[in-house]
Amino acid sequence: MTRDAPAFRQMTDASLLEAAAAGSQAAFAEIVSRYFQPVYRLVWRLTGGAADAEDIAQDAFVKLWKNPSQIREGAALKGWLMRVASNAVIDGSRKPRAAALADAPEPQDPQARPDAPLDRAQAARLVDAMIAALPERQRLALSLVYFEGLSNIEAAAVMEVSIEAVESLLARARRSLKEILSAEWRDLIGGLAETGH
């Protein structure tokens, strides 16, 4: 870490972009430090935890490194990174790919009872799987608003759609999840109650 690193932490996104465009690696490192985790989480959710989620997130930053001046407004930096990463996921989902070992189903535990309540980790995996089963635009809207804390306005900018379209996608996602979860809710609640959470 350079001795200028604390100074870069105080800079606005616009100033960091300007410094990165001038070739400052420290400014670019600060951008990565600020936004890699949210971009990675978004990609991870959109891909259902795919092994290449980190690579996809990194590619968004590589595109930024190659041309930081393509972002005209500093306030648009986070949204731009999320848009580039989510577009990469969507583009990648349209390409046929070989089955990966990570996509193989987990072997069933012979000791597990089918009527046993789920523990917290199992419940989280089940909810993640249900979210992953949503159509990609609904999954993206849900991830941006509920998991990354963006407002509907910010999510609309990332997705390049109207605010009404985001609200519609969210409503459909919630409705779909409610329908899917209605069959599973007793197991989810029972598992959480038994673990004391």
For the stretch 28-65, pLDDT in tens is 999 999 999 999 999 998 888 878 889 999 999 999 99
pLDDT reading at 1 higher than 50: no
Domain 115-194: give its CATH code. Answer: 1.10.10.10
Residue 168's pLDDT is what? 95
Average pLDDT on 174-193 reads: 68
User: Within 13 Å of residue 89, how many CA atoms lie on the same side as its CB?
Assistant: 30
Residue 185's pLDDT is what? 58
Residue 57's pLDDT is what? 93
Average pLDDT on 23-31 reads: 92
Report how far residue 136's alpha carbon sits from residue 90's, in angstroms, rounded to the nearest whole number: 7
Could you give phi then psi for residue 117, rounded to 5 degrees?
A: -65, 155
pLDDT reading at 184 higher than 90: no
Residue 183's pLDDT is what? 64
Q: Is the C-alpha dihedral spanning 101, 105, 178, 95 positive or negative?
A: positive
Bigger pLDDT: 184 vs 54 = 54
In the numeric block, the tokens 């616009």 are attached to 14
Bigger pLDDT: 158 vs 187 = 158
Contacts for 125 with CB less than 8 Å, ≥ 6 apart: none
**Which of 77-86, 94-103, 150-159 has the weakest average pLDDT?**
94-103
Question: Could you tell me where in the chain the CATH 1.10.10.10 domains are found?
Answer: 115-194
Q: What is the DSSP letter of 51?
A: T
Residue 181's pLDDT is what? 74
Residue 98's pLDDT is what? 45
Q: What is the pTM of this model?
A: 0.68
pLDDT reading at 75 higher than 60: yes
Instruction: Quick: pLDDT tens for 82-141.
Output: 999 999 988 876 665 444 444 444 544 445 444 444 566 766 777 778 888 888 899 999
Residue 12's pLDDT is what? 92
Whole-Å CA distances, 56 to 36, 40, 159: 11, 8, 17
CATH class of segment(s) 5-94:
mainly alpha
Question: Could you tell me where in the chain the CATH 1.10.1740.10 domains are found?
Answer: 5-94
